[in-house]
Chains A and B, each alone.
Chain A
């Protein structure tokens, strides 16, 4: 199509000469363009090289032969055999059970806070409250776990307070160096996470939903089960998976608060490293990675985890 015929008479433009300079301005250099493109890929390259690769290689190293102080290339399932046929498997499975309890307790205690925040707290205050929950998270996990000892001990804060109040006569000894101690430690360590992920997940539940529910006469329970949970499911799931895998992966908590038999995957791995049994440590890591992947896969099939990103994808 040619447009010349229909043109109106052009107004004289004196400014053309003025802009000519900017048009003929420097052509962006080819090197600059390439650099510009690759510099944004740096983080991805870094993560692949130093995160994805080491984690993937655990599968390879786990079938290497163990030597006196190190390992050598080979193909043996000895480490897995060692894991399955010893008490380790039993410990691993029971740590999964206790971790699940910690997930449940954290959810029950923490998720209502996320709902309350989104529903009834003014927008500007919401982020400050979230910061409050970041606070315990920013104090070293190990210090918080260690600090639970003087709190939960026989003569610790909890027992002495309860005895002074006259609620108990004898100190409760089950609070620490038991599986209960481990669950308490996990809840205290990871509860903020269910608040964060719940808070992000509640972004998927627009505020008017609450008004619609009130309008339709749905009670709190129905509202929670029929509306909030399905909408926030991807975020809730992510938070729960986080607590679960950290519950079975962080060695510190059973190490400091657990009693006999409180051994989780993290502890098995670090003990193997200390014993210079590297293939075993790698096998445990590989098992943990598999567990994580299976969980994420199931979660993705059930809830489409990419929905979690919708708040930042505008």
Chain B
């Protein structure tokens, strides 16, 4: 893949401190023009700080923000080529929907008729054509967020920042709006940078996801890669439903690494992290890739790809059912199956064997 000539957003060594509190420590990030980029992470992790710093609402403690290759660190938000959609409460309550959407154009000094046409077009784009004369308090939460979208998009800026835009909406509406956001971005082709703590939301919309926690950029990559093959332990714990096991390396080869974990020896593929014998490491595996069979079942899993444990209980979740199993080490593992494929669960306290395809287990070295 070719390197983008000029990235839409480039962040270099960016840090933000509030007094003694470090909200963001030295982050580097490049976001290509036209991509839907999601900043995902737990609340208080620094993702909103990063977004607001890109938008010019926070002044960085050190580091640079480049928009289209130009350093904009000294510019306030109104002089940047970004526009922003806020979590909520950000519509001007004393103006109509039309007044809200046209406000930026009015500031830019555009003639009235043109403002009306462009605003109407933007409202059309977000599907609110009939509501131009309403006041914000007469709109539902979803409608309000659409007005915000229209207000931001009407400006024809090429980078749109979205700060938890769907957080105040209920679950079903959030799902629908996610898809709409994605389609909207594909239609207009500008760069979207979207902050959320909801991984489903992130997966739905993102071309690429950056995981941010404790003020650090933990990992980033295509949404699919983040889910299927998280490189860092934190990613595994935050994205998807992963089982995590702590262990110690007992043998390290070029191809395989053996880890003492969960009361047995687990063999994993050496994916280039090259740990040495005696290192404390973590293992992770997605719960849907763990299979559970009764201990006496006639099954010969490949060496290093199984553990035995004590069956605890099953939790029915609709589409899937989770089985909880305690390992001799005290760790707990969840094996998740489609409910329709589930057979009768073992007795509580029965000994069971867990097994998995070798390449499903991932090794995380800190």
Q: Do A and B bind each other?
A: yes
A residues apposed to B, CB below 8 Å? 1-13, 15-16, 18-20, 22-23, 25-28
Give Cα distance in the complex from A23 to B7, angstroms: 16
User: Once the chains bind, are B220 and A3 in contact (CB under 8 Å)?
Assistant: yes
User: Once the chains bind, are B3 and A4 in contact (CB under 8 Å)?
Assistant: yes
Shortest CB-to-CB span from A30 to chain B, Å, is 11
Partner pick for B31 among A3, A15, A16, A23, CB 8 A cutoff? A3
User: Once the chains bind, are A10 and B34 in contact (CB under 8 Å)?
Assistant: yes
Contact code string B1-31 (vs A, CB < 8 Å = 1, else 0): 1111001100000000000000000001111
| 12 pairs, A vs B, C-beta closer than 8 Å | A3-B31, A4-B4, A6-B221, A10-B4, A10-B8, A10-B33, A12-B34, A15-B190, A16-B33, A19-B158, A23-B79, A26-B79
Residues in A neighbouring B81, C-beta threshold 8 A? 16, 19-20, 22-23
User: Once the chains bind, are B31 and A13 in contact (CB under 8 Å)?
Assistant: no
Give the 6 A-B CB pairs with smallest separation, nearest first: A11-B34, A3-B30, A11-B189, A19-B81, A7-B32, A10-B34
Stretch of B64-72, B290-298, B309-317 contacting A (4+ beta carbons < 8 Å): B64-72
Partner pick for A19 among B2, B76, B157, CB 8 A cutoff? B157
User: Once the chains bind, are A3 and B29 in contact (CB under 8 Å)?
Assistant: yes
**B156 within 8 A of partner (CB):** yes
**B80 within 8 A of partner (CB):** yes
Shortest CB-to-CB span from B83 to chain A, Å, is 10
User: Once the chains bind, are A8 and B30 in contact (CB under 8 Å)?
Assistant: no
**B355 within 8 A of partner (CB):** no
User: Once the chains bind, are B217 and A1 in contact (CB under 8 Å)?
Assistant: yes
Shortest CB-to-CB span from B18 to chain A, Å, is 17
Shortest CB-to-CB span from A7 to chain B, Å, is 4
With known contacts A1-B217, A23-B79, A8–B74 Cβ distance under 8 A: no
Shortest CB-to-CB span from B179 to chain A, Å, is 19
**B35 within 8 A of partner (CB):** yes
**B279 within 8 A of partner (CB):** no
With known contacts A16-B68, A22-B79, A23-B67, A7–B35 Cβ distance under 8 A: yes
Q: Which residue of A lies closest to B32 (CB)?
A: A7
Shortest CB-to-CB span from A88 to chain B, Å, is 50
Q: Which B residues between 269 and 318 are near A, CB-CB below 8 angstroms?
A: none
User: Once the chains bind, are A8 and B80 in contact (CB under 8 Å)?
Assistant: no
With known contacts A15-B156, A19-B156, A19-B157, A7–B30 Cβ distance under 8 A: yes
Shortest CB-to-CB span from B342 to chain A, Å, is 37
Contact code string B342-361 (vs A, CB < 8 Å = 1, else 0): 00000000000000000000
Q: Which residue of B lies closest to A1 (CB)?
A: B28
With known contacts A7-B3, A28-B76, A13–B189 Cβ distance under 8 A: yes
With known contacts A13-B33, A19-B156, A23-B67, A6–B79 Cβ distance under 8 A: no
B-side interface size class: 35 or more
Give Cα distance in the complex from A5 to B221, angstroms: 10
With known contacts A7-B4, A8-B208, A13–B221 Cβ distance under 8 A: no
Do most interface residues of chain B lie in helix, strand or loop, or is the interface mixed? loop
Q: Which residue of B lies closest to A19 (CB)?
A: B81
User: Once the chains bind, are A4 and B30 in contact (CB under 8 Å)?
Assistant: yes
Give Cα distance in the complex from A32 to B81, angstroms: 22
Contact code string B140-175 (vs A, CB < 8 Å = 1, else 0): 000000000000000011100000000000000000
User: Once the chains bind, are B75 and A10 in contact (CB under 8 Å)?
Assistant: no
Give Cα distance in the complex from A22 to B32, angstroms: 20
User: Once the chains bind, are B30 and A25 in contact (CB under 8 Å)?
Assistant: no
Shortest CB-to-CB span from A68 to chain B, Å, is 56
User: Once the chains bind, are B28 and A23 in contact (CB under 8 Å)?
Assistant: no
Shortest CB-to-CB span from A111 to chain B, Å, is 34
Shortest CB-to-CB span from B314 to chain A, Å, is 38
User: Once the chains bind, are A6 and B156 in contact (CB under 8 Å)?
Assistant: no
Q: Which B residues between 43 and 84 are near A, CB-CB below 8 angstroms?
A: 67-68, 70, 72, 74-76, 79-81
User: Once the chains bind, are B33 and A8 in contact (CB under 8 Å)?
Assistant: no
User: Once the chains bind, are A12 and B189 in contact (CB under 8 Å)?
Assistant: yes
Give Cα distance in the complex from A26 to B207, angstroms: 34
User: Once the chains bind, are A7 and B1 in contact (CB under 8 Å)?
Assistant: yes
Residues in A neighbouring B208, C-beta threshold 8 A? 6-8
Contact code string B205-240 (vs A, CB < 8 Å = 1, else 0): 001100000000100111000000000000000000
Shortest CB-to-CB span from A29 to chain B, Å, is 12
User: Once the chains bind, are A13 and B190 in contact (CB under 8 Å)?
Assistant: yes
Shortest CB-to-CB span from B14 to chain A, Å, is 12
Residues in B neighbouring A22, C-beta threshold 8 A? 79-81, 157
User: Once the chains bind, are B30 and A2 in contact (CB under 8 Å)?
Assistant: yes
Give Cα distance in the complex from A15 to B158, angstroms: 6
Residues in A neighbouring B217, C-beta threshold 8 A? 1
User: Once the chains bind, are A5 and B1 in contact (CB under 8 Å)?
Assistant: yes
User: Once the chains bind, are B220 and A18 in contact (CB under 8 Å)?
Assistant: no
Partner pick for A10 among B35, B67, B70, CB 8 A cutoff? B35
Give Cα distance in the complex from A25 to B3, angstroms: 29
Partner pick for B35 among A5, A8, A20, A28, CB 8 A cutoff? A8
Give Cα distance in the complex from A11 to B8, angstroms: 11
Give 16 A-B pairs besides A8-B1, A11-B189, A26-B79 with Cβ atoms closer than 8 angstroms: A3-B29, A4-B3, A5-B1, A7-B4, A10-B32, A10-B33, A11-B34, A12-B34, A13-B189, A13-B191, A20-B81, A23-B79, A23-B80, A25-B79, A27-B74, A28-B76
Partner pick for A27 among B2, B75, B190, CB 8 A cutoff? B75
User: Once the chains bind, are A23 and B189 in contact (CB under 8 Å)?
Assistant: no
Give Cα distance in the complex from A14 to B3, angstroms: 19
Residues in A neighbouring B74, C-beta threshold 8 A? 27
Give Cα distance in the complex from A25 to B76, angstroms: 11
Residues in A neighbouring B222, C-beta threshold 8 A? 6, 8
User: Once the chains bind, are A9 and B1 in contact (CB under 8 Å)?
Assistant: yes
Residues in A neighbouring B34, C-beta threshold 8 A? 10-13
Partner pick for A1 among B8, B29, B35, B207, CB 8 A cutoff? B29
Residues in A neighbouring B207, C-beta threshold 8 A? 8
Residues in B neighbouring A5, C-beta threshold 8 A? 1
Q: Which B residues between 182 and 209 are near A, CB-CB below 8 angstroms?
A: 189-191, 207-208
